[in-house]
Chain A
Amino acid sequence: MSIIMAFIIGGLICLVGQLIMDLTPYKVTPAHILVGFVTGGAVLSALGLYGPLVKIGGAGATIPISGFGHLLAQGTLEAVRAKGLLGAFTGGITAGAAGIAAAVIFGFCMAVLFNPRG
Chain B
Amino acid sequence: MSAPKRVGQHTLQFANPPVIVATASVVGPKEGEGPLGQTFDIVIDDSYFGEETWEKAERKMLEEAVKLVVAKAQLKPQDIDFLLAGDLLNQTISANYAARTLGIPFLGLYGACSTMYEGMALAAMLIDGGFAHHVVAACSSHYDTAERQYRFPTEQGVQRPPTAQWTVTGAGAVLMAPVGNGPRITHATIGRVLDVGIKDPTDMGSAMAPAAVDTIIRHFQDTSRGPIDYDLIITGDLGRVGHEIATKLLGEQKYDVSHNYSDCGILIYDHERQDTHAGGSGCACSAVVFAGHLMGKLNEGRYKRILGVGTGALLSTTATQQGESIPGIGHGVVIEKLG
Query: A residues touching B (Cβ–Cβ < 8 Å)?
Result: 21, 27, 29-30, 116-118
Contact = CB atoms under 8 A, between A and B. Distances in A.
B200 A118 contact: no
Contacts of A21: 159
A61 B10 CA distance: 62
Contact of B144 (A29, A30, A118): A118
Interface stretch (B17-25, B89-97, B150-158, B271-279): B150-158
A30 B200 contact: no
Contact of A30 (B143, B154, B158, B199): B158
Contacts of B201: 27
B54 interface: yes
A30 B201 CA distance: 15
A118 B156 contact: no
Given A118-B54, A118-B144, A30 B156 contact: yes
Contacts, number: 21
Contacts of A116: 144, 153-155
Most buried by B among A29, A30, A117, A118: A118
Most buried by B among A21, A29, A30, A116: A116
Interface of B: 47, 54, 143-144, 152-159, 199-202
A118 B158 contact: no
21 contacts: A21-B159, A27-B199, A27-B200, A27-B201, A27-B202, A29-B158, A30-B152, A30-B156, A30-B157, A30-B158, A116-B144, A116-B153, A116-B154, A116-B155, A117-B154, A117-B155, A118-B47, A118-B54, A118-B143, A118-B144, A118-B154
Closest 7 CB pairs of A and B: A118-B144, A118-B154, A116-B155, A118-B47, A116-B154, A30-B158, A27-B200
